Amino acid sequence: MIRITLLSLLFVALLGFSAKAQDEENQDYYINTAGQKIEGVITVHYGNDFIWYKADKATKKDTKISINDIKTVVVTHQAKKESYVDTLCVVADGSSKDQKKYFGKLMLSSPTLHVYIKFKEIPGGLVYDIRYTTAAAMQAQTGVGQWEWGQDRDKMILMYQEKGSDLTYELTSKNYIDILSKGVADYPDLAEQIQNKTYKFKEISKICDQYRDKKN
């Protein structure tokens, strides 16, 4: 797993945190495994394997929804006078014995590769001050988004998913050059920079930035 010291250098990549809708105009929703969009008020900590859901603010009791019944979660955050939408995709960890599912935030999306952030809570851990927000659930497949402020105490683990696979695996300092250079092969100059070790492992966020800039 990524060490905490490395995470402190990767803080500009992504941030997971607990979230709850603040604005009825930007209503939360999740998409279940049957493809149904279910709107309501959602509370979620990105390192958990469930969400708390209720139909509206007037509903007193939250219902616990298992990650096994979810495909995508979209939650709205209120930051000062503005609100931002965040998207979580349910993906599976291929390195775990039971291929455990988790809420992943998309960091990079190419025709052949997805890179996610997996969050694991560390009691009393370091606080990070950046989060990457996507504009809508469907944009989880494009990597379109914006940088905004937030904070939490989660360990962030980089995971990759290759085309044709339903599973994700850890992206490490030993495999990132091979995995990412192939994943961004549709932009040969960037792939060459990765192969030439222009970017160190702690600079993966820069690779993702460059790729998104080229796509946009």
Cα–Cα distance, 36 to 70 (Å, whole number): 10
Q: What pLDDT, on a 0 to 100 scale, did the predictor assign at position 10? A: 44
Strand partners, 40: 28
Checking if the pLDDT of 127 tops 50, the result is no
Strands (E), the chain: 18-20, 28-32, 37-45, 50-54, 63-66, 70-79, 82-93, 101-109, 113-121, 131-134, 145-148, 154-162, 167-170
Checking if the pLDDT of 49 tops 60, the result is yes
Checking if the pLDDT of 103 tops 80, the result is yes
Contact of 79 with 86, CB cutoff 8 Å: no
Summarised one tens digit per residue, pLDDT across range 128-155 is 433 444 443 334 444 434 333 333 456 7
Summarised one tens digit per residue, pLDDT across range 63-87 is 999 999 999 999 887 666 667 778 8
Contact of 205 with 130, CB cutoff 8 Å: no
Higher pLDDT, 216 or 111: 111
Spell out the domain ranges in the chain: 4-171
Q: What pLDDT, on a 0 to 100 scale, did the predictor assign at position 119? A: 87
CB atoms within 10 A of CB 64: 9
Q: What pLDDT, on a 0 to 100 scale, did the predictor assign at position 133? A: 41
| Average pLDDT across the chain, whole number | 78
User: 53 to each of 20, 44, 72, 75, how far by Cα in Å?
Assistant: 10, 9, 14, 11
Cα–Cα distance, 123 to 102 (Å, whole number): 19
User: Amino acid letter at 16?
Assistant: G
Average pLDDT over residues 10-23: 44
pTM: 0.75
Summarised one tens digit per residue, pLDDT across range 152-210 is 456 789 999 999 999 999 999 999 999 999 999 999 999 999 999 999 998 998 999 89
Checking if the pLDDT of 90 tops 90, the result is yes
Summarised one tens digit per residue, pLDDT across range 55-64 is 988 898 999 9
